[in-house]
Amino acid sequence: MPNVVVDMIKDLAWECCRHYSCLDNCCLCNYNYVMTKYKHSLQDDIGYWLNRLRMKVHSSFLAKLAKQDIAIPEWRILISLYNNDASNIVELAKFIEVDKGAVSRVLDKLESSGLVIRQPGKDRRSSVVVLTKKGEELTPKLAQLAELNEKEFFSCLSETEKKQLKSILKKLLRHAGIESLGGWFLK
């Protein structure tokens, strides 16, 4: 609230308190109660702290991947293919939880970079996406960058604390109604 408004409220409350003889239920007492009891700060918000950490972890990993000319959406697809979590556009979209159009655009870039190829599937409507030799060689290096990034931010936690943190984050996601379509965060 702007200071001018706060000062006006204080002045009005003081006049009310002085005029009606304070009985601990006057405007000034209520104003003081509300302003002290319900003072809110960004530092009180868990979401604020989660977002600050997420931004730092994300930007750090983004910088590491950029040195390899890879973006995070490309990384997600490469590691999903490498681990055989998905093999076509529909499965990839479901597993990494983005729409099929976004997956297709990222695959176009990966294909032009020589990291993946699309092969005909069992029916004409689907194609199977596979890593090329170049993609198979690059993905483990990118995984090492991901592990390095994790260590930079979370090495201060014990293994037990890391498991607890993951468990709490999964619980919060479920509570927020964010159930994974691909089920990856439930693993």
Q: What are phi and psi of 118, to 5 degrees?
A: -105, 130
Identify whether 162 is part of a domain.
no
CA–CA separation, 141 and 138 (whole Å): 5
* pLDDT of residue 181 exceeding 70: no
CA–CA separation, 60 and 169 (whole Å): 20
The pLDDT assigned to 22 comes to 53
* pLDDT of residue 6 exceeding 80: no
158's torsion region: left (phi>0), alpha (psi -120 to 50) or beta?
Answer: beta
Q: Are both 140 and 64 inside the same structural domain?
A: yes
- Confidence class for position 186, pLDDT limits 50, 70, 90: very low
- Higher-confidence residue of 135 and 16: namely 135
Identify whether 144 is part of a domain.
yes
Q: Are both 125 and 109 inside the same structural domain?
A: yes
Distance of CA 119 to the CA centre of its chain: 33
CA–CA separation, 68 and 142 (whole Å): 8
Number of domains making up the chain: 2
* pLDDT of residue 28 exceeding 80: no
Q: Are both 122 and 35 inside the same structural domain?
A: no
Query: What mean pLDDT is predicted for residues 28-45?
Result: 67
Report the predicted TM-score, pTM, of the whole model to 2 decimal places. 0.72
Q: Is 120 helix (H, G, I), strand (E, B) or coil?
A: strand
**Domain residue limits at 7:** 3-39
Question: Distance of CA 43 to CAs 1, 32, 39, 57, 122, Å?
Answer: 17, 22, 11, 19, 54
Q: Are both 52 and 134 inside the same structural domain?
A: yes
Q: Are both 27 and 68 inside the same structural domain?
A: no
Q: What percent of the chain has pLDDT over 90?
A: 63
Identify whether 171 is part of a domain.
no
Is residue 168 within 8 A of residue 153, CB to CB? The reply is no
What integer best gives the mean pLDDT of the chain? 84
Q: Are both 64 and 145 inside the same structural domain?
A: yes
Q: What percent of the chain has pLDDT over 70?
A: 73
Which H/E stretch holds residue 33? helix 27-37
Q: Are both 26 and 106 inside the same structural domain?
A: no
Q: Are both 133 and 48 inside the same structural domain?
A: yes
Identify whether 117 is part of a domain.
yes
- Confidence class for position 99, pLDDT limits 50, 70, 90: very high
Query: What mean pLDDT is predicted for residues 69-86?
Result: 96
The pLDDT assigned to 126 comes to 79
Which residues, 6+ apart, have CB-to-CB distance to 16 below 8 Å?
26, 27, 28
Q: Are both 94 and 29 inside the same structural domain?
A: no
Residue 79: which CATH number?
1.10.10.10
Is residue 127 within 8 A of residue 118, CB to CB? The reply is yes
Q: Are both 105 and 58 inside the same structural domain?
A: yes
